[in-house]
């Protein structure tokens, strides 16, 4: 009779220890299944195949021709240092125009990526080149969305 409390105490201690070991494992397993899926996209493909890209290239080529003509007309009679400064300023203007054109296209691509990611239940989307393993490739889905608009 005196052993019953000791056995009961040992049994409670054993069950408590078992629960402490099992419950954290179940919590970790629940976290694994609830982990957010990650999507990947090939951003270079999306930019190059974007429907606005041919027009952006035409605008950039026209700007490049204008810069060349402007350099030719303004550089006559300038010193070498002044020519370099003019060339630097014109190159900066050309780069700024390129960034402006690409910013508009990438904003549309980013919006399409967000829509597809939301539809697919993805919370993170990274550049495909940045991944070593895994990730759901949504490039084709995003491309379909941007080419149909």
Give residue 128's pLDDT.
87
Give residue 20's pLDDT.
53
Buried b (16+ CB within 10 A) or exposed e, 119-131: eeebeebeebeee
Q: Write the DSSP string, 37-97.
A: PEEEE-HHHHHHT-TTHHHHHHHHHHHHHHHHHHHHHHHTT--HHHHHHHHHHHHHHHHHH
124-127/38-41 β-pairing: parallel
DSSP state of 149: -
Q: How far is CA 135 from the centre of its chain?
A: 12
Give residue 110's pLDDT.
93
Instruction: State both tokens at 51.
Output: 């429907």
Per-residue pLDDT tens listing for the chain (149 residues): 555 655 655 556 555 555 455 555 544 444 443 446 889 999 899 999 999 999 999 999 999 899 889 888 888 888 889 889 989 998 999 999 999 999 999 999 999 999 999 998 988 998 888 888 888 889 999 999 998 85
pTM of the predicted protein model = 0.66
CATH of domain 36-148: 3.30.910.20
């Amino acid at each position: 009779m005196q052993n019953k409390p000791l056995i009961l105490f040992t049994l409670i201690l054993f069950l408590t220890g078992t629960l402490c070991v099992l419950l954290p494992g179940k919590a970790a397993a629940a976290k694994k299944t609830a982990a957010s899926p990650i999507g990947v996209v090939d951003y270079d493909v999306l930019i190059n195949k974007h429907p606005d890209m041919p027009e952006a290239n035409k605008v950039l080529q026209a700007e490049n021709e204008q810069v060349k003509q402007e350099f030719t007309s303004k550089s006559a009679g300038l010193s070498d240092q002044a020519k370099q400064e003019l060339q630097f300023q014109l190159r900066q203007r050309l780069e700024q125009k390129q960034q402006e054109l690409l910013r508009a296209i990438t904003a549309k691509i980013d919006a399409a990526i967000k829509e597809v990611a939301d539809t697919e239940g993805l919370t993170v989307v990274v550049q495909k080149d940045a991944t070593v393993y895994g990730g759901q490739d949504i490039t084709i889905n995003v491309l379909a969305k941007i080419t149909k608009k």
